[in-house]
A = this chain, B = another copy of it.
Amino acid sequence: MSNAPLTPQRILEAAEETLRRFGPDKTTVVDVARALGVSHGSVYRHFPTKAALRDAVAQRWLEGVCAPLRPIVEDEREEAAPRLRRWLECLSTTKRRMAREDPELFTTYHKLALESRGVVDEHLETLARMVTRIVADGRARGEFAVREPEAAARAVLSATSRFHDPVHVSAWEEPGIDAEFEEVWALLLHGLATRSAPTTSGE
């Protein structure tokens, strides 16, 4: 391993492994360097500060959340409503799977991300841009009746935070969580949709 050239990629993998073993409070750049069999100076050549390394680790983790969402946004043949639903379900299930498979590592990454405020803000912007694109597409198709797709997209993300914001991790294994998602989705979809289907109760 130590014969391979020292790339940012290899440093990030070693940092993840070290974080997994020691947790965010006890992981130092020296630990990461030791795991790679290099001097800490070699690590600093790629990541000039501990904060830079931490941000890069958080970014890599959040990219793992974003990656499966992108093909859903791109799939423009599909109508916007089912696409938005798939996107929200994918975001929720990715987070839930991560939290379920390795709760300790999930907590570690969440804590790390909270310290990388700039990285988290950029991540939230990325999510908002993806939802904005689906909503704007839905408006262009006449499916959605929203005035400002960006504001509506932010509202959709805020209104579904129970299902994807890690502060709610303890709710994700509750038995009623899927039913709750259905109820919120029904309300949001009704809120986004064009008023093309008058109900019997309408005047």
Task: Confirm or deny: A30 has a beta carbon within 8 angstroms of a beta carbon on chain B.
Answer: no
- Complex CA–CA separation, A46 to B201 (angstroms): 53
> Which B residues are in CB contact (< 8 Å) with A198?
195-196, 198, 202
Assess whether A199 is in contact with B161, with CB atoms less than 8 Å apart: no
Partner of A187, one of B162, B186, B192, B202: B192
- Complex CA–CA separation, A158 to B165 (angstroms): 13
Which residues of chain A in 151-166 are interfacial with respect to chain B, using CB atoms and an 8 Å cutoff? 151-152, 154-156, 158-162, 165
Q: How far is the CB of A30 from chain B (nearest CB, A)?
A: 31
Q: How many residues of A contact B (CB 8 A)?
A: 35
Task: Confirm or deny: A118 has a beta carbon within 8 angstroms of a beta carbon on chain B.
Answer: no
Q: How far is the CB of A160 from chain B (nearest CB, A)?
A: 7
Assess whether A199 is in contact with B188, with CB atoms less than 8 Å apart: no
Assess whether A187 is in contact with B142, with CB atoms less than 8 Å apart: no
Q: How far is the CB of A43 from chain B (nearest CB, A)?
A: 31
18 contacts between A and B (CB under 8 A): A145-B199, A145-B201, A145-B202, A151-B186, A152-B183, A154-B183, A156-B187, A158-B180, A158-B183, A159-B159, A159-B188, A161-B162, A165-B168, A187-B192, A188-B191, A190-B192, A195-B197, A197-B202
